[in-house]
Structure 1
Amino acid sequence: MTNLTETWVFADGNMTAGGDAAEIDRLLAAELEQIGTTDGGWRRLFRHRADGSLWQLDYPQSELHGGGPRRLVRLDNADCTTWQ
């Protein structure tokens, strides 16, 4: 299972995205299409355009301002059958 996690880094008085943020942005912009949403939009389901794999975008630290850093996870078959 692929698990990409964004981090928030406070540097020079500014909060910036770090960790896997650039790869998450790239996948969302170029390779994934949204096919579902739940939890008021806090969890979204995507399909990879090339290989058909399913990915979930969520915010595991949702108590933070703005929902916190993002996490993008490639789902295995067991996760896909229970996604709602």
Structure 2
Amino acid sequence: MKKEIGPEESKISGGWIETEDGFSKDETYNRIEYLTENYLEKLAVDKSGWEILYRAPNDGRFWVKWFPQSEMHGGGPPELKVIEANEAKKKFSHG
């Protein structure tokens, strides 16, 4: 598993693998969990509680963890995507 985010990456999408017992997390889903728990710096949560803002320590880029398949249980697998600083300020300032 790649434990950092490379400069060429701008979106990391997790997925599920169908198994005999249902579904399990794919390698990218596990990587997103690792990155958000051990690598990225958590900065803010949006008003809905479904989007979380992070900053990458290697290059300072802002990343949002969100769940693009909202129709699925728990929002489906997570995705990390780069977000511009001005968009992050607008989306994550609660005042």
Please give the range of the TM-score, normalised by the shorter of the 2 chains.
0.7 to 0.9
State the distance in 2 between where 1:32 and 1:26 align: 9
TM-score normalized with structure 2 length: 0.73
CA deviations on 1:2-37 (whole Å, 9 max, x unpaired) are 111111122112310115112212211221121111
Whether the 8 Å contact between 1:58 and 1:72 is mirrored in structure 2 is yes
State the distance in 2 between where 1:27 and 1:80 align: 19
1:4 counterpart = 2:15? no
Q: Pick the structure with more strand per residue.
A: 1
TM-score normalized with structure 1 length: 0.80
State the distance in 1 between where 2:27 and 2:71 align: 19
> How many residues in Structure 1 have an aligned counterpart in Structure 2?
84
State the distance in 2 between where 1:45 and 1:18 align: 22
Deviation at 1:77, TM superposition (A): 4.7
Partner AA of 2:74 in structure 1: G
State the distance in 2 between where 1:77 and 1:34 align: 15
Question: Structure 2: which 5+ runs fail to align?
Answer: 1-8
Task: Kindly report which structure 2 residues correspond to 1:7-46, keeping only aligned pairs within 5 A, or say none.
Answer: 7-18=15-26, 20-46=28-54
Structure 1 residue matching 2:60: 3-state secondary structure: coil
Question: Structure 1: which 5+ runs fail to align?
Answer: none
Question: Once the two structures are aligned, what percentage of the paired residues are identical?
Answer: 26
Structure 1 residue matching 2:34: 3-state secondary structure: helix
Deviation at 1:81, TM superposition (A): 5.0
